[in-house]
Amino acid sequence: MSASLFPRSSATEASRTGREVPNRRRLAMRWRRLGSDDTGSVAVIFAFLLVTLCLFIGAAVDFGSALRAKAAMQGASDAAVLAAAIHLKTSPSDTATAETKARAVYLANREGKGFKIDGEDVRFTLTRESDGALMAEAFAEGSVPTHFTKIIHMNNFPVSSYSAARIERMNIEMALVLDVTGSMAGSKLTTLKLAAKDLIGDVIWDDQSVWKSRISLIPYSYAVNVSDLSGPIPTTATTATGKNWYLQDHCVSQRHDAQRHSDSLAAVGKVYSNTSACVVPPARRLSDNVQALSSDIDGLSAAGSTATHIGAAWGYYALSPNWANRFGHSVNPYSDRDTAKYLVIMSDGDNTIQYCQNGRPDKNSLGTGGSSSGRDTGCSSTEGADSYLRNVCSAAKGSGIEVITVGFQVSTAARNLLTQCASPNSYYNANSNAALRQAFKDIAARVNKLHLSH
Question: Among 308, 366, 347, 413, which residue's Cα sits nearest to residue 188?
Answer: 347
> What does the pLDDT read at residue 372?
54
Question: Among 274, 277, 279, 278, which residue's Cα sits nearest to residue 242?
Answer: 274
CB 405 within 8 A of CB 419: yes
Question: Among 181, 175, 176, which residue's Cα sits nearest to residue 349?
Answer: 181
pLDDT digits (tens, 9 = 90+) for 294-334: 999 999 999 999 999 999 999 999 999 999 999 999 999 99
Q: Rounded CA gap, 344 and 218, in Å?
A: 10
Q: In this model, does residue 13 exceed pLDDT 50?
A: no
> What does the pLDDT read at residue 326?
96
CATH of 171-449, one of 3.90.1150.140, 3.40.50.410, 3.90.960.10, 3.30.930.10: 3.40.50.410
Q: 174 has which bridge partners?
A: 215, 342
Q: Give the H or E element holding residue 213.
A: strand 213-220
In the chain, % of residues over pLDDT 70: 80
pLDDT band at 380 (very low <50, low <70, confident <90, very high): confident
Q: Rounded CA gap, 112 and 169, in Å?
A: 37
Q: In this model, does residue 18 exceed pLDDT 70?
A: no
Question: Among 297, 280, 278, 302, which residue's Cα sits nearest to residue 184?
Answer: 302
157-185 core/surface letters (b: 16 or more CB in 10 A; e: else): bebebebbbbbbbbbbbbbbbbbbbebbe
375-414 core/surface letters (b: 16 or more CB in 10 A; e: else): bbeebebbbebbebbbbbbebbbebebbbbbbbbbbeeeb
> Around 321, how many Cα atoms within 13 Å sit in the side-chain half-sphere?
8
pLDDT band at 428 (very low <50, low <70, confident <90, very high): very high
pLDDT digits (tens, 9 = 90+) for 84-95: 988 887 677 788
CB 352 within 8 A of CB 377: no
For 186, left (φ over 0), alpha (ψ -120 to 50), or beta?
A: left
Question: Among 253, 35, 52, 73, which residue's Cα sits nearest to residue 162?
Answer: 73
> What does the pLDDT read at residue 338?
86
Residue type, 18: G
